[in-house]
Amino acid sequence: LGKQGEWLQIQTPAGCRGFVAAWLVHLTGQSAPAAGLVVYPTVVLNVRARPSMDGNIITVVQTDDVLEVLGSKEQALANIGQEEQWLNVRTAVKFVGYVAAWLVRSSTDAPPQTPPVTTDLVVYPTDEINMRAQPALNAPRIGGAHRNEPLQVIEADLNAATEKIGKADLWIYAERKEGTRGWISAWLVRAVPV
């Protein structure tokens, strides 16, 4: 699931069989039970559809976002801080996915001694635009933004985000002043108001 270029064979409740693009589907249903543990990202962090760097990005979380760990508390505690380990989490807005365990700290850990680098990138839509749950035109619309409305970019690599501004088929993760976060079409924003 969630892997670009792969296909899944499916069967509908009516018995029809066929194939669907794996990168356009996700599991539904109940998630694992809460572990009674919360973690905090140590950097701006991607929440992925599967426990892999190849997994589709569901959302992006900030260092002050609380992530509820799902599954075994003991296993989660053993994985925190470990390279190549992943945690199944639920965000405050109920997105469920996986985060790199080496990029989070538990609620009992001391916060990092050095404050995060505070850089700032704001983009401005060239017209009315949609904000989407994933970086795809067919992803659910979760909001919108007006022409020239300042949108705060909240990606981990702001230099890479800057390179995407105005480019076709690329997406930027941003936040409106009122708090709505979502993916916006990079080709429909500029670095200065228009």
Per residue in 126-162, pLDDT (tens digit) is: 999 999 999 999 999 999 999 999 999 998 888 889 9
Per residue in 168-183, pLDDT (tens digit) is: 999 999 999 999 999 9
In a domain, 112, yes or no: no
Structural domain span for residue 146? 122-190
Shared domain check, 41 and 85: yes
Give CA–CA dist 59/80, Å, rounded. Answer: 20
Locate 168 and state its tokens.
């076709």
Per residue in 12-37, pLDDT (tens digit) is: 888 888 888 776 665 655 556 676 88
Shared domain check, 128 and 171: yes
- 190: Cα separation from own chain's centroid: 22
Instruction: Look at residues 78, 106, 134 and tell me which one is the last residue of a structural domain.
Output: 106
Q: How long is the chain?
A: 194
CA distances 11 to 2, 7, 21, 23, Å, are 18, 13, 14, 17
Number of domains in the chain: 3
In a domain, 116, yes or no: no
The CATH number linked to 157 is 2.30.30.40
